[in-house]
């Protein structure tokens, strides 16, 4: 933990006492579950049409470098228990929508990955007010994870072609419950990430769907479900399954290890095309991704 970020967190803690206090009260009362109603959307035809075009363009234009490989990060607080994946919720009193997000390994330690469309109001097209967004890693069966619900302080989405770059980085306002200024990833562990994944990759997809075809799982938007097989021939498309509403933003993980509950994320679940019965993951290009990381990191 370097001094500069400790200082930064200390300053944050001093400046925003009211919101920290509310986070703490949620944290200490994990039975006081956030009420869940519905989940994401994205089943409009226009978007799918655009997507098909975009996929083609992207396939023909793979000129970006694909070099960075960042390893998973094991929880320091409890090395036997990583829980980097959780529910990200927007709840403003009138509407509630949820998606899936996960903590990824960064120097900052408080950065997560989700779908960009999960952070925007479908009707207005405007970004959601961050004060109504929260993330609960390890959320299960309607109950927040061990850290409760954590506020969001910054988001970054790609400037280019948002329809076909449907991923976002999010920074959390994490306040170490033990007062040691540990980062979120030191508690939850964090997924590694990479850009070099091709077709037919053996993949595990996780999410909190309230419908769709993930099997062996209660699909009520409150349970973390898992799908494991390999992606179809086309990079990051998976045939014959709808991962379901609420699973959006969920990580596509390669080299997933059940013992550590970690692996490398290389795309996030973006949307499902009804007509062809295909679920799509959006993969980032490395330049865009590093741009997001710079923008979201103080």
Ligand X SMILES: *[C@@H]1O[C@H](CO)[C@@H](O)[C@H](O)[C@H]1NC(C)=O
Contacting residues toward ligand X, per CB under 6 A:
25, 29, 31-32, 141, 213, 218, 240, 277
Q: Which residue, 77 or 237, is less far from ligand X as judged by CB? A: 237
- Smallest gap from Cβ 140 to ligand X, in A, equals 7
Q: How far is the CB of 240 from ligand X (least distance, A)?
A: 4
CB of 233 to ligand X, least distance (A): 16
State how far the Cα of 135 lies from the Cα of 145, in Å rounded to an integer.
Answer: 10
- Could you tell me the smallest distance in angstroms from the CB atom of residue 121 to ligand X? 28
CB proximity list for 238: less than 8 A, separation 6 or greater? 203, 205, 227, 229, 231, 232, 278, 279, 280, 281
Please say which residue, 7 or 218, places its beta carbon nearer to ligand X: 218
Q: Which is closer to ligand X, CB of 111 or CB of 224?
A: 224
Q: Report in angstroms how near the CB of residue 239 gets to ligand X at its nearest.
A: 8
* DSSP letter for each residue of the chain: --HHHHHHHHHHHHHTHHHHHHHHHHHT-TTSPPP---------HHHHHHHHHHHHHHHT---S----EE--B--SS-TT----EEEEEEE-SS-EEEEEEEEB--SSS-EEEE-GGGGB-TTT-PBPPGGGEEEEET-BTTB--TT--EEEEEEE--SS-TTT---EEEEEE---TTSS---HHHHH-BBEEES---TT-EEEEEE--SSSS--SS--SSSS-EEEEEE--SSTTEEET----TT-TT-EEEEEEETTTTEEEEEEEEEEEETTTTEEEEEPPPHHHHHHHHHHH--
Which CB atom, from 32 or from 38, has the smaller least distance to ligand X?
32
Shortest distance (Å) from residue 218 CB to ligand X: 5
Q: Which is nearer to ligand X, 25 or 202 (CB)?
A: 25
Judged by beta carbon, residue 65 or residue 141, the one nearer ligand X is: 141
Q: Which CB atom, from 49 or from 240, has the smaller least distance to ligand X?
A: 240
CA distance 132 to 88: 10
- The token pair that represents 169 in the structure block: 């980085």
CB of 276 to ligand X, least distance (A): 9
CB-closest chain residue to ligand X: 32
In this complex, which beta carbon is closest to ligand X, that of residue 195 or of residue 272? 272
Helix 3-15 with 17-27: angle, nearest 10 deg = 90
Residue 36: CB minimum distance to ligand X, A: 13
């Amino acid at each position: 933990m370097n001094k500069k970020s400790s200082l930064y967190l200390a300053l944050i803690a001093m400046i925003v006492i009211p919101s920290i206090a509310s986070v703490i009260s949620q944290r200490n009362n994990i039975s006081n579950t956030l009420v869940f109603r519905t989940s994401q959307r994205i089943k409009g035809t226009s978007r799918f049409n655009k997507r098909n075009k975009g996929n083609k363009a992207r396939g023909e234009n793979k000129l970006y470098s694909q070099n960075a490989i960042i390893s998973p990060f094991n929880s320091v607080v409890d090395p036997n228990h990583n829980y980097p994946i959780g529910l990200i919720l927007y709840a403003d009193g009138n509407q509630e929508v949820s998606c899936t997000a996960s903590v990824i390994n960064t120097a900052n330690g408080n950065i997560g990955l989700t779908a960009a469309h999960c952070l925007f109001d479908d009707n207005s097209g405007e970004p959601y007010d961050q004060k109504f967004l929260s993330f609960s890693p390890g959320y299960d069966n309607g109950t927040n994870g061990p850290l409760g619900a954590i506020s969001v302080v910054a988001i970054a989405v790609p400037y280019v072609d948002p329809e076909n770059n449907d991923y976002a980085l999010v920074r959390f306002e994490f306040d170490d419950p033990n007062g040691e200024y540990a980062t979120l990833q030191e508690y939850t562990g964090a997924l590694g990430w990479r850009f070099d994944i091709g077709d037919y990759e053996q993949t595990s997809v996780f999410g909190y769907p309230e419908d769709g075809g993930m099997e062996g799982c209660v699909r009520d938007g409150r349970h973390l479900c898992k799908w494991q097989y390999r992606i179809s021939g086309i990079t990051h498309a998976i045939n014959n399954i709808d991962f379901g509403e609420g699973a959006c933003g969920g990580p596509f993980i390669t080299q997933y290890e059940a013992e550590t509950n970690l692996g490398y994320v290389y795309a996030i679940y973006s949307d499902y095309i009804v007509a062809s019965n295909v679920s799509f993951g959006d993969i980032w290009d490395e330049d865009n991704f590093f741009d997001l990381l710079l923008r979201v990191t103080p």
